[in-house]
A and B are shown apart, each in its own frame.
Chain A
Amino acid sequence: MRAFAQLFAVLDRTPDASGKTAALEDYFRATPPADAAWALWFLYGQRLKRAVKSVDLRRWAAEAADLPPWLVGECCDHVGDPAEALALLLPLNPHPAPLPLALLVEQRLLPLAAATEVEQRAILRATWSELDPTQRFLWHKLLAGNPGIGVSRALLVRALARLARVEIAVMAHRLLGAWRPTPAHFARLMSGEAPGGEPACPYPFYLASPLEGEAPALGAVTDWQFEWKWDGLRAQLLRRAGEAILWSRDEEIVTAGFPEVADAARALPEGTVLDGELLAWGDGPLPFAGLQRRLNRRAPSAAIRRAVPAVFMAYDLLECGGADCRQWPLTKRRRELERLLTRAADEAARREAGLSQTGWLQPDLFDSQPVAPGLPAPLRLSPALSVATWDDLAGLQAQARATGAEGLMLKQRDAAYGAGRQPGAWWKWKVAPFICDAVLVAAQPGHGRRTTRFTDYTFAVWQGDELISVAKAGSGLTDAETDAIDAFVRAHTTGRFGPARLVTPELVFELAFDGVAPSTRHKAGFVLRRPRIVRWRQDKRPAEAGTVATLRGLCRG
């Protein structure tokens, strides 16, 4: 605790990152693994449950300091942080003899949770008598769950990487995932033994950078592989030590929400890690919102599993045969990924047929339920697309929306799998929505609960001096705007057409849409695809709205 309190004091007063990193490095170099493990655990931002009620803490501190409770309250208000105020007012200890951090946590802090009030009081009094004010301050922070020391994970990773003499990405990887503050674990972090003992540890995700310039600037088109950019939940699928674990990009284990994926993953060989996207999937990708229902609950009900079938769309292979294969070029990783998924699919088919007999699957993996009939296979391979020329890529991009993708991914074929956002090997080319201004020409009540208000709108653009309707859209506006438009519709009705009211063409809206689709049912000859309201252009007059000719130009023949 003495060294940890010293580290805290230095971190607390050192403003610059290099000073903090040096202090962390010094601390971890000199600290025994048992203490270092706990220090790292807290510095990494892990929390324990609050061990003692704060009213009890104050009461016992007042008693130990022989001060009236009101005066202790004054002190807490004055200092602003009770952990600090109590640390300062407790009786001084001229010869502090703090326990090492690990013992303090394991013999004092952890037992508090199950202790009676009398025992808690005794533990606190004993501990206070051993600590100096700075150490007590930290002790109080630990009692509240975490010291909350201002050090970023990036600094921590940098300090440990330097100490272990490994790349920052390697240390970031070792620190990811669920780990326990044990000396053995800390030693492994430093020595970098094979991750076999840590089945739950994912790799840092490689993140694509937005493509800003022109794609041809990337060189030969044949050096690149293209994939759809899926709008799902980025995840790693870890198949290790008899388990299948799904890690989301924000470092959460989401396995429980996707049992069918986890089950299917058991058909993969031991020591496999895939990178991919969790998607809600019907005939193709379903809206992202559906996935939320999977994330909100631990185990989705059968009804939700049916309503929002989930798949893992795999597109990269990070570990193969228990070995980190991120340094392989993409082409090699891809080839191996395809082979693994094909064998897994065969395996799954054989399992359903009751014929499961292969060398590399363990028998105990077979008691999982087969995929329910009629649902999509939960493990899928994201197709690799290729084009002959950069010009063809634009054509591919134009199909992204029809595929249900957000755009394209451009991946360099001979590049290794990176870490974090390192521009160069992976680019994302998102489909930008089209934008046009259109005039509100008709409105009708929405469905369901909103039937009392006019919330479904028809929008038109100019052809000569005639307004031709090209889109229907609802929502996207604030409640106040919807009310205002509702009032406008009632006051400016010029005719009725079924449930719809025709209105004076006065209001202009900016619409976003994904393209134009030919339509014989519409007078314009096309209709906007997936139109949505961006905003109400109260600054624009109807004459400033778009034209049919411009929109048709988007139609690309």
Chain B
Amino acid sequence: MLTVTEHGLYCASGGFHIDPWRAVERAVITHAHSDHARPGSRSYLCAADGVEVLRVRLGRDASIAGLGYGATTRLNEVQVSFHPAGHVLGSAQIRIECRGEVWVVSGDYKTQPDPTCAAFEPVFCHTFVTESTFGLPVYRWPEPASVFAEINHWWRSNQPRARTSVLFGYSLGKAQRLLAGLDASIGPILAHRAVREFLPAYAAAGIRLPAVQPATPESIRAAGGRAIVVAPPAAGNPAWLDGSGEFATAFASGWMLLRGMRRSRGADRAFALSDHADWPGLVSAIRATGASRVLVTHGASAPLVRWLNEHGWQAEALATRFVGEIPEEPETPHRG
């Protein structure tokens, strides 16, 4: 049903590509992260919730159509529908059905709760194409509520020393999830331009986020060390923070679960918060699909493939160019 070509995952019976890494005729998109949604294709189809964020990524002129979660459309011989993946706003698993055979391509997904996007829904299928960014049993996320309590506590503890809190997280998805978890009663919330760019799309989708001011050296100084700034990750202290006074930095990423990763980041703090499934999430999601065959993409897929095969699945790795997350994202694997 799906083959890997030089353009990406191709469905011949449907005449479309899923998350192609080159320009194609018809692209069906799981979500708007840049390793899944690349510009240049003639037409795009994605979940209705994802149209606006995809437009920010692809530009005003891109031809993008949306389909509500659960609704079905027909592309040539194939029935296509989108189902929530719980990864970021508008992210979807793509279900394709042709002559009674059902495949689901997960894209990126997580099973943890996230108020900024629809929750992951398992979809029954014969073949499940799963991501495996965190495909080892050492990855098991703490409760998001406890992570946000830590983040808010950290922010508060920086205020008496008049140190602005700078929290790094990827600009689409993670940043908005962070905004949603911040306690606005603590102080002013500022956001980097790359983060604010997506906020209208969130507003349009009815996602409630706290009021956010643009982060500039002036606005940061004006807050007198009481503000928190949400910004995309950067190595060291980025130039746009120059002249902003003293600050403390923190990263929010799944990799921060590992001590070596925390130390190599060189931030003052690290919070283990991921938009990908952890090991229990992967296993439970795979189990819930009822699929007998599992294709594994992303990162280090070998351990998950072997474990699945040992536990009654028919599993193999699928070579794609999905990288777990986009290079400038902190969740980019450092090894493997």
Interfacial residues, chain A to chain B (CB-CB below 8 A): 12-13, 15, 65, 67-68, 70-71, 74-75, 78-81, 84-85, 88-89, 92, 137
Contact = CB atoms under 8 A, between A and B. Distances in A.
Contacts of A89: 137-138, 140
Interface in B264-278: 268-270
Given A13-B270, A88-B140, A89-B137, A78 B300 contact: yes
Contacts of A74: 136, 303
Contact of A68 (B136, B263, B307): B307
Interface string B241-269: 00000000000000001111011000011
Contacts of B139: 88
Nearest to B138: A88
A137 B259 CA distance: 11
Nearest to A132: B142
B137 A71 contact: yes
17 contacts: A12-B259, A12-B263, A13-B268, A13-B269, A15-B268, A67-B137, A71-B136, A71-B303, A75-B137, A75-B138, A79-B138, A84-B258, A88-B137, A88-B138, A89-B137, A89-B138, A89-B140
B167 to A, nearest CB: 15
B215 to A, nearest CB: 24
The 8 closest A-B pairs by CB, nearest first: A88-B138, A89-B137, A74-B303, A75-B138, A89-B138, A75-B136, A85-B138, A80-B260
B310 interface: yes
Contacts of A80: 260
Q: How many residues of B sit at the interface, in one of the four size bands?
A: 20 to 34
A71 B302 CA distance: 10
A150 to B, nearest CB: 10
A545 to B, nearest CB: 56
B257 A88 contact: yes
A78 B136 contact: yes
Nearest to B311: A68
Contacts of B260: 79-81
The CB with the most chain A CB atoms within 10 A, among B136, B270, B335, is that of B136
Q: Would you call the interface of chain A mostly helix, strand, loop, or mixed?
A: helix
B280 to A, nearest CB: 9
A393 B110 CA distance: 81
Contacts of A137: 259
A424 B292 CA distance: 81
Contact of A81 (B140, B259, B268, B336): B259
Given A13-B270, A89-B140, 15 more contacts: A12-B262, A12-B263, A13-B269, A65-B137, A68-B307, A71-B136, A74-B136, A78-B300, A78-B335, A78-B336, A80-B260, A81-B260, A88-B138, A89-B137, A89-B138
A66 to B, nearest CB: 10
A85 B138 CA distance: 6
Contacts of B336: 78
A538 to B, nearest CB: 46
Nearest to B310: A68
A477 to B, nearest CB: 45
Contacts of A12: 259, 262-263
A92 B307 CA distance: 20
A199 B295 CA distance: 69
Interface string B121-160: 0000000000000001111100000000000000000000
A386 B191 CA distance: 75
Contacts of B138: 75, 78-79, 85, 88-89
B131 to A, nearest CB: 17
A97 B273 CA distance: 25
A13 to B, nearest CB: 6
The CB with the most chain B CB atoms within 10 A, among A65, A89, A92, is that of A89
A88 B262 CA distance: 15
Contact of B258 (A15, A65, A70, A79): A79
B244 to A, nearest CB: 20
A77 to B, nearest CB: 10
Nearest to A68: B310
Contacts of B258: 79, 84
Nearest to A73: B303
